[in-house]
A and B are shown apart, each in its own frame.
Chain A
Amino acid sequence: EADIYQTPRYLVIGTGKKITLECSQTMGHDKMYWYQQDPGMELHLIHYSYGVNSTEKGDLSSESTVSRIRTEHFPLTLESARPSHTSQYLCASSPLPGQGGYGDSPLHFGNGTRLTVT
């Protein structure tokens, strides 16, 4: 049972359209992440957030943008979709570090949004 929700699950859209992928979590986690996943490839971090009003770019360059106005909500926006944006987008969150310190908390993932740009 997911505590992190992504909508839509599937989206097919034409080139040039503006889209927003929604992500919400009910766990009160401060940190949230967007990963991009292509078939047979590893997940690449494209955006993350430490908390409200915090957004950072990840390891993989992306033309998308994100916002974090509320703790539970971390939407991703593409101003003008292109076929190269076709991919699966996974949202995740994590709690504060445990006794092990930074990095010992697992990420909790949503079910993903599979985006196809025609």
Chain B
Amino acid sequence: AQSVTQLGSHVSVSEGALVLLRCNYSSSVPPYLFWYVQYPNQGLQLLLKYTSAATLVKGINGFEAEFKKSETSFHLTKPSAHMSDAAEYFCAVSDRSNTGKLIFGQGTTLQVKP
């Protein structure tokens, strides 16, 4: 069975600082992994996805994530935080079945201080 653990329910960074949001997964098959962002009172928006091509995946808004099989990790990074990055971030793994459903982590709230 697949599962996702996001380390740290809240992360606070200063504007311009590095953003690092951690995600570890458990999967019985080669995983497909996703990062989503949720702004207040909105749905989830896809940031990036890993589907077994390049291990370093670039997404929207300057975010990227690196798939590390040996560490079962898929951490999300951004070199320089912007105030508009403040939101909740969810890591998800696909169950690789024909349902196409995703299993989500508990989310990490990113706060960006001026």
Contacts and interface: CB of A to CB of B under 8 A. Distances in A.
Contacts of B99: 31, 48, 50, 56
A42 B23 CA distance: 13
Interface residues of B, number: 28
A90 B32 CA distance: 21
Contact of B100 (A4, A90, A94): A94
Tell me whether chain B's interface is mostly helix, strand or loop, or mixed: loop
A100 B32 contact: yes
A90 B43 contact: yes
Contacts of B95: 103
Contacts, number: 77
Tell me whether chain A's interface is mostly helix, strand or loop, or mixed: loop
Given A43-B104, A100-B32, A106 B43 contact: no
A3 B44 CA distance: 13
Interface size class of A (residues with CB under 8 A): 35 or more
Nearest to B45: A109
B41 A107 contact: no
A42 B43 contact: no
A106 B49 contact: yes
Contact of A58 (B51, B96, B101, B106): B101
Contact of A103 (B45, B94, B107): B94
Interface of B: 4, 9, 32, 34, 36, 41-46, 49, 51-52, 90, 94-102, 104-107
